[in-house]
Amino acid sequence: MRSKGGWRVSRGMTMIATVVATLSCGGGGTAGDGSGGGLPPPPNSQFSGVLTWKGNTTGNGVYSSETTLTPANVNVNQFGKLGSFQADGLAEAQPLYVSNVDMGSGGTHNIIIVTTEHDSIYALDADNLGAGPLWHRNYLDPANGVTTLPDNFGGRTTLGGEVGITGAPVIDAASGAVYFVTTLARNGVAEQWLRAVDIRTGKDFGPGSLKIEASVPGDGVASANGQIAFDPSIQNQRAGLRELNGSILVPWGSFSDWGKYHGWLMAFDAATLQRKAVFNPSPQYQANDPVSGPADHGGGGSFWQGAAAPAIDASGNIYLNAADGSLMPIKAETTTATPCLS
């Protein structure tokens, strides 16, 4: 079901999308808000561990170099809880692990990176969770109207109280920067921000933040004047992030099938955070649709993937599963759209 430079549709409720990216389209977004074993690693890699969702860009979840845990010692007598840490909110994203991190005056630690729906990110000592965080960042400022986005915002169903950081972060093996997306409300208005911090200090890496804004040409649902704009209030950054050739890949689905949503995949420069590319698989209006779902007639096509990050093969091709898209009752076998990725 590959479609080079676009996507291919099969009948039913699921669209299988393949995006082949060179990641060179123009930038966008607003920088800074004042908050301070698939492909081989980069040649100057200095950090190792579980740096991305399921450990490598294939997403196969195979940790073939594991030596400590074996079928012989993972048992009720030798394997069990060593410690715990109480975070400030739900930890929906997969925690990441980095070994032997030199944190300067703080010493060298094996660390766990944990994010929460309360818009917090923590670095924890993997060998001593009870000691508390090595560092902690929170992106809220209630005194100035910056809060998490309520999970029932706009009438959608509740998911646990608040929406903050949901998709699994990704860590650059060379720089030690960790990238993630925060969802928040600023005086009641939804915003999403791409963040980058140094795993050694918790301080901003590079510009530190970029407000996520984008649009694509199209006449599908939620279009205005021939453009479909990214809506941070209904686009759920659920799937994990990936890094590819110096770009941070960020996918979106929706919340509870609510609103006139689309799937989005964006690429951002790992050094500057500027947006390099944007892809929407459902930009075209469809007058007829046999399913008549909440975002039909040219909407949907969302990238949830059960929280899975995009898969990347050895040639750098990006694979995503899109769902809830509209299908025409006739001519539905193969439909192609060209993303802004070349």
pLDDT digits (tens, 9 = 90+) for 113-150: 999 999 999 999 999 999 999 999 999 999 999 999 99
For 54, the 3-state DSSP assignment is helix
Q: Kindly state whether residue 67 falls inside one of the protein's structural domains.
A: no
| Distance, CA of 90 to CA of 307 (rounded, Å) | 15
User: What's the pLDDT score for residue 295?
Assistant: 58
Report yes or no on 125 lying in a domain: yes
- To which residue do tokens 């933040």 refer? 209
What does each C-alpha distance from 148 to 79, 91, 173, 265 come to in angstroms?
37, 14, 30, 23
Which of 149, 205, 158, 140 has its CA nearest to residue 177? 205
Residue 74 lies in a domain: no
Residue-level pLDDT at 291: 64
pLDDT at 289: 66
Within the chain, which residues score under 70 in pLDDT? 1-44, 289-297, 326-342
Residue (of 153, 169, 40) closest to 111 by Cα position: 169
Tell whether 128 is covered by a domain: yes
Contacts of 259 (CB under 8 A, 6+ apart): 154, 156, 231, 233, 234, 294, 295
What domain range includes position 109? 6-60+89-323
Distance CA 275, CA 26 (A): 7
Q: Is residue 126 part of a domain?
A: yes
Whole-number pLDDT of residue 126: 96
Predicted pLDDT at 268? 98
CATH number at residue 132: 2.40.128.630
* Residue 82 located in a structural domain: no
- Number of structural domains, the chain? 1
Q: Tokens representing 341?
A: 């990725």
> What's this model's pTM, rounded to 2 decimal places?
0.85
pLDDT of residue 43: 52
Compute the distance between CA of residue 250 and CA of residue 267 in angstroms, rounded to an integer. 6
